[in-house]
């Protein structure tokens, strides 16, 4: 039995929540996944998974084994990176993630120049509005917008992004121009729900902050759709400054309630705190940070 392979299969089953989901993720037959786990349980003389009709759960022995397996496999990956020269040579695959629209607008242009200057590095750029786990998904560097809430990460700040409430001139001419956040209660709203938890419409006063939202007329999970609906005059949208920069500049959208806007959100390059930082990741951070600061200034 290949114990490293069996460990990898077991961890995938746990992360994906079921044997069938692990089979799809690993692109191997379900019977193979089941056999790998069973072989491991026979080798250990212990039940690792408690199988139900829809999902699997870890036994007490399984929880302890999975934590140990994670450490072992990370040490193996670290040894492989060391042997491959990732800490001394600028080469290999670099995995980076960023929010979808921000990545397309700001990260991708910088990354393309980085690849031209580093011909031995291959980039895998994941654009996703869902925050991924850097360790579990083997991500080298992530671009994050907002205050960091997950520990175990190092961060390099590269700028800040403002949250802007806006609407089309036609809509504001028909419904009136809000002068305080409380006025939003009488307006139609376009809600962007692209993240796992929709951000609150928070505003600042002289000494306090509060939440006021318009009536949701349209809820979408795409930035582009929210912007298009706002331009079409459907209602008030609350988006990030880079998402509506072009529309605000051209005048098809107008910013409102700017005096009540909350503090800007930081934009950071983050990477795992534990372990050594591969040379390719350090090179990407050193290259990208000043260029993103210039684009966001």
Tokens standing for residue 61: 């022995």
Q: Is the confidence at residue 209, as pLDDT, over 70? A: no
Q: If you compute the radius of gyration of the chain from its CA atoms, what whole number of angstroms results?
A: 24
Provide the CATH number for the domain formed by 92-156+268-296 in this structure. 3.40.190.10
- Structurally, at CATH architecture level, domain 3-83 sits in Orthogonal Bundle (1.10)
* Structure confidence at residue 197 (pLDDT): 44
Count helices and strands (H / E) in the chain: 10, 14
> Residue 108: enclosing H or E segment and its boundaries?
helix 108-117
> What single-letter DSSP state applies at residue 178?
-
Angle, vertex CA 204, rays to CA 158 and CA 243, nearest 5: 45
| 256 vs 259: CA distance, rounded Å | 8
- The boundaries of every CATH 1.10.10.10 domain in the chain are 3-83
Average pLDDT of the chain, as a whole number: 86
What pTM was computed for the model?
A: 0.68
Using CA atoms, how far apart are residues 297 and 161, in angstroms rounded to an integer? Answer: 10
Where exactly does CATH 3.40.190.10 map onto the chain?
Answer: 92-156+268-296, 163-260
Task: Report pLDDT digits (tens) over 121-158.
Answer: 999 999 988 888 887 788 999 999 988 776 678 899 99
Which SS3 state, helix, strand or coil, does residue 252 take? coil
- What is the fold of 163-260? D-Maltodextrin-Binding Protein; domain 2 (3.40.190)
């Amino acid at each position: 039995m290949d114990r490293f392979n069996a460990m990898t299969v077991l961890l995938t089953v746990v992360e994906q929540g079921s044997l069938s989901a692990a089979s799809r993720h690993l692109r191997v037959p379900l019977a193979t996944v089941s056999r790998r786990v069973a072989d491991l349980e026979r080798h250990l003389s212990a039940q690792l998974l408690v199988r139900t009709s829809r999902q699997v759960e870890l036994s007490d022995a399984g929880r302890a084994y999975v934590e140990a397996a994670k450490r072992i496999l990370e040490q193996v990956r670290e040894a492989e990176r060391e042997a491959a020269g990732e800490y001394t040579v600028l080469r290999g695959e670099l995995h980076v993630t960023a929010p979808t629209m921000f990545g397309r607008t700001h990260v991708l242009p910088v990354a393309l120049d980085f690849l031209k200057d580093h011909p031995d590095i291959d980039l895998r750029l994941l654009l996703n509005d869902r925050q991924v786990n850097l360790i579990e998904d083997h991500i080298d560097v992530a671009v994050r917008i907002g205050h960091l809430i997950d520990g175990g990460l190092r961060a390099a700040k590269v700028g800040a992004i403002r949250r802007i409430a806006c609407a089309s001139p036609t809509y504001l001419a028909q419904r009136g121009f809000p002068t305080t956040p409380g006025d939003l209660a009488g307006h139609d709203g376009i809600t962007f729900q692209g993240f796992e938890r929709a951000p609150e419409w928070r505003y600042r006063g002289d000494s306090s902050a509060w939440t006021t939202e318009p009536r949701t007329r349209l809820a979408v999970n795409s930035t582009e759709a929210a912007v298009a609906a706002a331009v079409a005059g459907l209602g008030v949208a609350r988006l990030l400054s880079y998402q509506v920069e072009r529309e605000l500049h051209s005048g098809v959208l107008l910013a409102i309630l700017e005096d009540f806007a909350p503090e800007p959100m930081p934009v950071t390059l983050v990477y795992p705190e534990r372990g050594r930082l591969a040379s390719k990741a350090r090179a990407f951070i050193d290259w990208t940070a000043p260029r993103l600061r210039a684009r966001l200034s």
